[in-house]
Amino acid sequence: MNEKWFLRKHEDGSTFGPVQFEQITRWAAAAQIAPHDTLSSDGQTWIKAPMVPQLGMDWLVELTSEHYYGPTTLGTLREFIRLGEIDGETVVINSCEGTRRKIREMPDLWETGELQVENQIEIQLGDPVGPAVAKMSLHLQKRIRDLEQTLQEERRALAESEQRYGELERKYQDLLLRDLS
């Protein structure tokens, strides 16, 4: 791991490096490496960042029962808590162990509603300028818009179904009255 490494951001294709692998681990711990970003030690062969075990990208954030963010690092979870993107009720899954727990059950991340500051990664003097902090909110905002649109469509379909049911119920009642007369 003494080689120089490169980070390529999936979002826009920008490349950072060459840097020491230690810098890559600091970026990962500081939420600057997202799950679809890739790494290379030669600038030619690229692998997804979560495939590098030394980065500790072992955590999945459960956004909904069908949607997840990750895998990512504990440092990223801390940053998402700080940014308000996740809270104590958010469920995370350790992809190595297969365990599920709520953020509030992880004292190394969350303590009485506050972050433990001593766990924060400090930026080192002389560190190269790195990528921006990864965010979930863009994906969440799109997902929210999609869900709101689906909800509107479902409500419209329900209203139409209820109207049709009412019409059929009236016709049925009319037929019953005719048969009784």
The reply to whether 63 and 107 lie within a common domain is yes
The reply to whether 55 and 94 lie within a common domain is yes
In angstroms, rounded to a whole number, what is the distance separating the alpha carbons of residues 70 and 2? 26
The reply to whether 119 and 143 lie within a common domain is no
3-class SS of residue 122: coil
The reply to whether 23 and 105 lie within a common domain is yes
The reply to whether 160 and 181 lie within a common domain is yes
- Give me the pLDDT at residue 148, please: 80
In angstroms, rounded to a whole number, what is the distance separating the alpha carbons of residues 115 and 17? 30
**What DSSP character marks residue 127?**
P
Cis peptide before 18 (omega within 30 of 0): yes
Q: Show the tokens assigned to 138.
A: 């863009």
- CA 176 to chain CA mean position, Å: 57
> Tokens 């400090």 identify what position?
122
Secondary structure (H, E, C), 55-72: HCCCEEEECCCCCEEEEE
From first to last of the 181 residues of the chain, give the pLDDT tens digit: 668 999 999 989 999 999 999 999 999 988 899 999 999 999 999 999 999 999 999 999 998 878 889 999 999 999 888 888 888 999 999 999 999 999 999 988 765 444 443 344 444 545 556 677 666 554 566 667 777 888 888 999 999 999 999 999 999 999 988 888 7
Check if the beta carbon of residue 74 is closer than 8 Å to that of residue 108. Answer: yes
In angstroms, rounded to a whole number, what is the distance separating the alpha carbons of residues 132 and 114? 23
| Amino acid (one-letter) located at 6 | F
- Give me the pLDDT at residue 146, please: 74
SS3 content of the chain, % helix, strand, coil (to 5): 40, 20, 40
The reply to whether 125 and 181 lie within a common domain is no
What values do phi and psi take at 125, rounded to 5?
-60, 135
Domain with 83 in it: 4-135
The reply to whether 71 and 124 lie within a common domain is yes
| Amino acid (one-letter) located at 156 | R
The model scores a pTM over 0.85: no
The reply to whether 67 and 155 lie within a common domain is no
